[in-house]
Amino acid sequence: MKLTFKVFFFLFSILVFSQADTVQENSASAKIVQKHIKPFNNRDLDSFLGVFHEDVLVKRFPNDTMYLGKNMLKENYKKFFENNKKSHVSILNRMTLKNWVIDEELGVVNNSTNRHITIYNTGNEKIKSMTFVSNRKTTSNPESIVNKQLLAYNNRELDNFIETYSNDIKLYFFPNQLISEGHDSMRKQYGTMFETILDLNAQIVNRMVLGNKVIDKEKVLYNGSIFYAIAIYEVNDGKISKVTFIQ
C-alpha cells in the first residue's frame, strides 16, 4: 500500500495524534477501566461483568478474536474463578489516549505470578474491547533500538532513522490497518516531514516494555502545537519490524 505524503500526513496527524490538556493518566476512560479491578480481585462476577459492554470483544494482540459478547465473557470468567482458588491483579503502569487505556498488570493466579499488558477501549461508560498482549521472549534489547530511532527522528537524520527498521517494516493503525510498508515508503513520508516540519520533536512521557514490544506514549511538538501519540514497537533481530499506532 503506497501513500502520498499529503495523505499520510493527514492520517498521521488527525488519527494518531491527540491534542490534550494533560499527560496525567486519570482520564474518564481510565476510571471506567479501574472499576473492573476490584470486582475481579474480590471474585465478584456480577459486579465485574457490569463494567463491560454487552457486545464486548476480547482479543489477543493485535486482532485474534477470543470471544465476543458479555455472555461469553461471563462463561469464561466463571470457569476461571471456579478453576483457580486464588487470583489477583494490580496495575504497575497505565497510559491513556482518548478512549484507550493501556495497563501494565501484575497478575497472580494460584502460586504463579506474571506480568502482562492489556489494551482497553471504552465507550458509553463501559469497556468495549479488551486486547491481551503476550510476553514474547527476545534475545535483544528492544528499548535500545527504539531509543536509537527516536534520537534519529529528533535529529532529522533520515538514513539513521530508516536504519533502525527492518527492510519489510510495516506500519499499522490498531489493530491491523496497514498504512505503510518498506523502507522506500517510509523514506518518502518521513523525509518530507523532516524537511518541512522544522520544530518536529518527540519525547517519551510513558513507556512499557514486554518481551520484544516497546509501548511508548509520546509528546510530540509539531508546527508549534503539542500532541500525544501511542506507538507499539515490535523488535525482531535487532530491528523494528512493526509499529502499531493507537488512534
Q: Output the pTM of the full model.
A: 0.90
Domains of the chain: 5-22+137-246 (3.10.450.50), 28-133 (3.10.450.50)
User: Is the pLDDT assigned to residue 45 strictly greater than 70?
Assistant: yes
pLDDT at site 139: 75
Q: What is the mean pLDDT of residues 30-34?
A: 97
pLDDT of residue 67: 97
d(CA 96, CA 114): 22
Tell me: pLDDT of 5 over 60: no
The predicted pLDDT at position 25 comes to: 59
Note the pLDDT tens digit of each residue in 182-220: 999 999 999 999 999 999 999 999 999 999 999 999 999
DSSP β-bridge partners for residue 97: 100
- pLDDT exceeds cutoff 80 at 10: no
Q: Is the pLDDT of residue 164 over 60?
A: yes
Alpha-helical regions (H) of the chain: 5-11, 28-34, 37-41, 45-49, 70-83, 142-155, 158-163, 183-196
Length of the chain: 247
CA distance 18 to 103: 19
Instruction: Report residue 202 CA to chain centroid gap.
Output: 17
For residue 41 the three cell numbers come to 480481585
Closest C-alpha among 23, 33, 39 to residue 53:
33
For the record, the C-alpha cell of 204 comes out as: 517519551
User: Which is it for the CA torsion 12, 16, 21, 25, positive or negative?
Assistant: negative
